Amino acid sequence: MNPKFKHLFSTEIIKAFTKQGYTGDKEMREIKIICKLFNPCGIGSWFLYEHVEEDIYMAFCLLDDPSYAEIGTISLNELVALKLPFGLGIERDIHFPTGEKTLKEIYDKVKGR
């Protein structure tokens, strides 16, 4: 684990990514969301569910309009490098339950289904 990400991921979250493993052969209802990252100054939420490699993760990304929300890869290096007002950075939602919600549940909620 890159030390730059230590503040974002607890030991529980790291273990949950390992336990979930590869999700490419699973249906959305079988994939657990491991954690939620967000922009504390405005738009942007990322629901991470798979650690792909190095700093790359699979995520359901909501950047503004829910009709444009999409599933894809994100780079934690890029997210951590964002310069936000007041010296803030991307944060983890500590109230989001690790591994309790599925990708399908979050997707349907965001898309209004």
Per-residue pLDDT of the chain (113 residues; tens, 9 = 90+): 566 677 899 999 999 999 999 999 999 999 999 999 999 999 999 999 999 999 999 999 999 899 999 999 999 999 989 999 999 999 999 999 999 999 999 999 999 87
Q: Cβ atoms within 10 A of the Cβ of 108, count?
A: 13
Classified as helix, coil or strand, 55 is coil
Distance CA 7, CA 13 (A): 11
Q: 74, 36 in Cβ contact below 8 A?
A: no
3-state secondary structure of 51: strand
